[in-house]
Amino acid sequence: MRNSVKVFAPATVANVVCGFDVLGFAVNAPGDEVIMRMTGKPGVQLIKITGDEGRLPLDPDKNTVSASVQHYLEHIGRTDVGVEIELHKKMPIGSGLGSSSASTVAGLFAINTLMDNLLSNKELIPFAMKGEELACGYGHADNVAPALMGGFVLIRSYEPLDVISLPFPEDMYAAIVYPEVDVPTKDARQMIRSKILLKNAVTQWGNVAGLVSGLFMKDYDLIGRSMVDVLVEPTRSILIPDFYKMRALALDQGAVGFGISGSGPSVFALTKNEETARVITLSLQNQLKGLNINSLGFVSPVNKMGPVVLD
Ligand code: HSE
């Protein structure tokens, strides 16, 4: 049995444009790291957070990593266990890239590794959802499920939880750009209308079914024409500088589809290869530079592994 472990968990792109709260995929980078050590004294301590510019709580009840680890230990009946946690944030907070999810998933994967993999990654999802609830007020699974399972994931149902791994074209890449403006998920959720028109619902579920079919059929054309969101994007895009200009740029340069990553402000494009993803990332970053907005760019295939033990 191990006494300590270092874990990496990946960032994720939730919603994938049309699938608000029900679709997401993981990427290879960025992501967060957690180091966890057994202490011999019952209780979960958060001893260090780096890379957060002092923004995350060190109080173990308020931090999503320690709170979900505590919840896991209670669930498996091991409140006698004591651990200390270091969280190393390697990705921006409030970016729409599943920042809280990557931290929480790294913590849960670490404790589960120390407990000899008592639960499967899929069984860890409900614990990670509790972490999301703490972070943004709602326990959505479209970041934590792909972060834990890797790949492309569908949340078919929340009650009961039914999570499905989807296939995807092997050569598919994501171009991701994070404009350095902060959009907390909590605020970005509050701005969405809770009532929708039936005709918009019809458009949306047609697109969700189209996107899932396109992934199964490895049909880029179908994937692209299904990446349309009439429910959330019209409102949230207001928060993202030059959103529609960036979309036009990405599509002109060969993107399969383009949209907001999670609750934003990051945007992403799916592409048919790495080169196109690189070209699009640079051109979106240039567009933002023209507005005097700094940005970070990431190019990645869909991550197949989920969290991994580094040490
Ligand atoms: N589905 C969530 C939302 C993802 O759009 O609010 C948050 O990253």
List, for residues 52-85, the tens digit of each pLDDT value: 999 999 999 999 999 999 999 999 999 999 999 9
Cβ of residue 268 lying under 6 Å from some atom of ligand 1: no
Cβ of residue 218 lying under 6 Å from some atom of ligand 1: no
Supply the pLDDT for residue 190: 87
Cβ of residue 24 lying under 6 Å from some atom of ligand 1: no
Testing ligand 1's pocket by substitution, the residue of 27, 129, 143 carrying the most ligand atoms inside 8 A of its CB is 143
Q: Which residue has a Cα nearest atom 6 of ligand 1?
A: 263
Classify domain 173-301 by CATH architecture: 2-Layer Sandwich (3.30)
Task: Spell out a b/e string for 234-256, using b for 16 or more CB atoms within 10 Å of the CB, else e.
Answer: eebbebbbbbeebbebbeebebb
**Predicted model pTM:** 0.97
Q: Which residue has a Cα nearest atom 1 of ligand 1?
A: 21
Supply the pLDDT for residue 303: 98
User: Which amino acid is residue 209, in one-letter code?
Assistant: A
Supply the pLDDT for residue 4: 98
Q: Average per-residue pLDDT in the chain?
A: 96
Testing ligand 1's pocket by substitution, the residue of 12, 15, 193 carrying the most ligand atoms inside 8 A of its CB is 15
Supply the pLDDT for residue 1: 79
CA of 219 to the centre of ligand 1 (A): 26
Cβ of residue 96 lying under 6 Å from some atom of ligand 1: yes
> Which atom from ligand 1 is nearest to the alpha carbon of 15?
1
Catalytic residues: 132, 185
Domain positions in the chain: 4-167, 173-301
Sheet containing 295-301, strands listed edge to edge, beginning at the edge strand earlier in sequence: 257-260, 267-271, 173-179, 295-301
Q: What is the per-residue pLDDT across 254-292, written as a single tens digit (0 to 9) for each?
A: 999 999 999 999 999 999 999 999 999 999 999 999 999
CA of 83 to the centre of ligand 1 (A): 30
Low-confidence ranges of the chain (pLDDT < 50): none
CA of 8 to the centre of ligand 1 (A): 21
Supply the pLDDT for residue 91: 96
Measured between alpha carbons, how far is 75 from 130 in angstroms, rounded to an integer? 13
Classify domain 4-167 by CATH architecture: 2-Layer Sandwich (3.30)
Rg (CA), the chain: 19
Supply the pLDDT for residue 186: 83
Residues β-bridged to residue 166: 152
Supply the pLDDT for residue 136: 87
